[in-house]
Amino acid sequence: MHARVVIIGGGVIGSSVAYHLAAAGEKSVVVIERDPTYREASSALSASSIRQQFTTPACMEMSRHSFEFLRHIDDYLNVGEGRVEVSLTERGYLYLADEAHAAALRAALDVQLAQQVTVRPLAQAELSRQFPWLETEDLVLGALGTAGEGWFDGYSLLQAFRRKARQLGVSYLHDEAVNLIVKGQRVTAVSTAKSGEIAADVVVDAAGPRAAIIAGWANCRIPVMPERRCIFVFSCPDPPPNMPLVIDPQGVYVRPDGPNFITGGPATPSEEPFALNVDHAQFEDFIWPVLAARIPAFERIKMTGAWAGHYEVNAFDHNALIGWAPDAEGLMLATGFSGHGMQHSPAAGRGVAELILEGGFTTLDLSTFSPRRLTRNQPIVELNIT
């Protein structure tokens, strides 16, 4: 069995790469996905929000590109079965800062405004006036994205990429990669649990939180690791009107989700790195008290659900690794998005396809994310990773 490109991981990144390759005319693409139900896939368990308020300019560009892709998604991913719908809601992010966090937010705003991000600084009085349901006594500054930010249905995006890729001729293989075949310093094939070896000209590592394991088979060490994030769903009898996605200074975020709300906070440690059990104590002991203090209406809420998913964290600088692996020829990395993968998947997939087919980036310059910065010890640190 042989394919021009073999992609390990059929989540939203791998499926975006597959779609963009096929849309550009590549006829020989195989995606290996060990769980086609996506029950435990990071793509299916994402909070699925999109923002421009990063501190890395290239991340802002990826968000702009991806938002426009989502806005016109039917033009790209329609397979003739009705309109493609991902429920894109453009309502913005609202970052909040107390005295301890104000300097960092001002620095982020300086970078964002210099990059023409549509973000508006809000002083305490403006926050109180525009969001009367918000407790602002301890706040010094806010930053509100006024366009090109919001949330969407990430699982629908994944499935739309997958359907369109298959329509364009991509083969999805229900199997598990168990090794990479390396001759000299070049990756030449993927060994699978059920289908044997699949020879490949290019192997794309889009395995999310397991990407470091895959790369390690080719003696390529990357600092990508799983990080458990718990998400909680609740209802509120008196919901705040026209609420954006709010990020409290303590790292708790909350946003509307249909008639309900979803919320989460920092990572919670787990003895088993790939465990997906929910840390309910995090909600009771930390998240809910923070929410109730910031938005008094949330003192009376009812939890209706919860789940856990993984960030694929690049511990080096919390930015993606997009490009050829520094220590293994023929191995392309598309991983380490550190919580940005779902929102950046359209831009990342296009960029990887361009590198493979054209030898360089032609739509967006994503060279900032080259994995070679690892060997050069040149981190491009992203500070806004919530």
**Is position 87 within any domain?**
no
**Is position 74 within any domain?**
yes
Contact criterion met (CB below 8 Å) for 6 and 32: yes
What does the pLDDT read at residue 293? 98
Among 92, 97, 84, 17, residue whose Cα is nearest residue 50: 92
What does the pLDDT read at residue 327? 86
Residues 190 and 304 in one domain: no
Residues 163 and 307 in one domain: no
d(CA 100, CA 377): 30
Of 257, 287, 311, which residue sits at a domain end? 311
**Is position 384 within any domain?**
no
Residues 306 and 161 in one domain: no
- Per-residue tokens: 347: 């831009």
What does the pLDDT read at residue 74? 97
**Is position 380 within any domain?**
no
Q: Residue 42: which CATH number?
A: 3.50.50.60
What does the pLDDT read at residue 259? 95
Q: Residue 267: which CATH number?
A: 3.30.9.10
**Is position 271 within any domain?**
yes
Residues 189 and 123 in one domain: no
> pLDDT digit of tens for each residue in the chain (386 aa)?
899 999 999 999 999 999 999 999 999 999 999 999 999 999 999 999 999 999 999 999 999 999 999 999 999 999 998 999 999 999 999 999 999 999 999 999 999 999 999 999 999 999 999 999 999 999 999 999 999 999 999 999 999 999 999 999 999 999 999 999 999 999 999 999 999 999 999 999 999 999 999 999 999 999 999 999 999 999 999 999 999 999 999 999 999 999 999 999 999 888 898 999 999 999 999 999 999 999 999 999 999 999 999 999 999 999 999 999 998 999 999 999 999 999 999 999 999 999 999 999 999 999 999 999 999 999 999 987 77
What does the pLDDT read at residue 383? 86
Instruction: Give how many domains the chain has, as a whole number.
Output: 2
Residues 178 and 200 in one domain: yes
Of 281, 296, 311, which residue sits at a domain end? 311
Q: What are phi and psi of 266, to 5 degrees?
A: -60, 170
**Is position 381 within any domain?**
no
Host domain of residue 263: 93-149+226-311
What does the pLDDT read at residue 81? 82
**Is position 327 within any domain?**
yes
Residues 326 and 307 in one domain: no
SS3 180: strand
DSSP class of 101: T
Interior angle at CA 349, CA 348 and CA 353, nearest 5: 115
Residues 233 and 301 in one domain: yes
Of 257, 285, 311, which residue sits at a domain end? 311
Residues 31 and 66 in one domain: yes
**Is position 329 within any domain?**
yes
Residues 323 and 304 in one domain: no
Residues 163 and 213 in one domain: yes
The H or E element containing residue 232 is: strand 224-235
